[in-house]
Amino acid sequence: METVTLRASEADAGERLDAWLCAQLEELTRSAAARLCTQGQVTAGGKPLAKNYRLNGTETVEVTLPEPEILDAVPQEIPLDVVYEDADVIVVNKPKGLVVHPAPGHPDGTLVNALLYHCGESLSGVGGALRPGIVHRIDRDTSGLIIAAKNDFAHQKLAAQLQDHTLARTYECIVTGNLREDAGTVDAPIGRCPTDRKKMAVVSGGRRAVTHWEVLERFGGFTYVRCRLETGRTHQIRVHMAHMGHPILGDTVYGAKKPVPGLQGQCLHAVGLQFVHPRTGEMVCLSCPLPEEFVRQLDKLRTRM
């Protein structure tokens, strides 16, 4: 069992408890939140709260979460765009909409399920039963290159490269607004957003996060940007671009809430990957083209100029 402490703010006053819990804890559905309330697992000042309790905005709420269910990822025949593969590693151009590994709300239909079908038992076990082979992640609605390890030796070598930054990841994106400079670096710590647990934010005490960026093309109200990750925090580029005042086009979490017509999720693509091969020691440099919807957005912006 895990107990999580949440603090309501003035902005939460009047909100129904089960709906608020669902918004604060990404692992909870509203029905699961209501069930915890019914079971007496949600308290304030030691007293259980009903699911329909209305917050006054001053509560400190304690939620006792159940142990997560143990799930096993199963092979599924899902098409993969394989960019590189050998006995140690496989690199895939992940499409938008594909979740990387099973999790609550996404028990199957993930990249891991597809890799298990494609690679059989040839995936590392370092990441556990739900994340075999997974060395790093890409958001569901971000496309592009992701590497997986086929054995524990390769996984450990690649994980070390993530730590010392020799595994280099390059992204391209379209951001809103016109960046003043032609290039720069964002060095700002990232942690869980204190007011919304489903989001990350630049926060004091967060983990160090560094993103290097350069402008590729300007369109007045939008800018085409290349980013290179020095670190790999959750939602790092999305959070850093929003922190600069230039959220990524289509990012309804960190930018405008209204979706962009013809665009699924954020206009962000992992275009390049460079790593030292874990067995041969040779440098491997890979790239993949921009997805069609990204190209269409660029064409629209160029036409407007």
Catalytic residues: 139
CA distances from 93 to 128, 138, 271, 273 (A): 23, 11, 9, 11
Q: What's the half-sphere exposure (Cβ side, CA atoms, 13 Å) at 218?
A: 10
233: its two tokens: 């925090």
**Per-residue b or e along 224-238, where b marks 16 or more CB atoms closer than 10 Å to that residue's CB:** bbbbbbbbbbebbbb
Cβ-proximal residues to 288 (8 Å cutoff; 6+ apart), any chain: 81, 83, 93, 144, 145, 270, 271
Neighbouring-strand partners of residue 260: none
Strand pairing class (283-287; 2-7): unpaired
Cβ-based neighbours of 257, under 8 Å, separated by 6 or more? none
> Rounded distance, CA 95 to CA 290, Å?
11
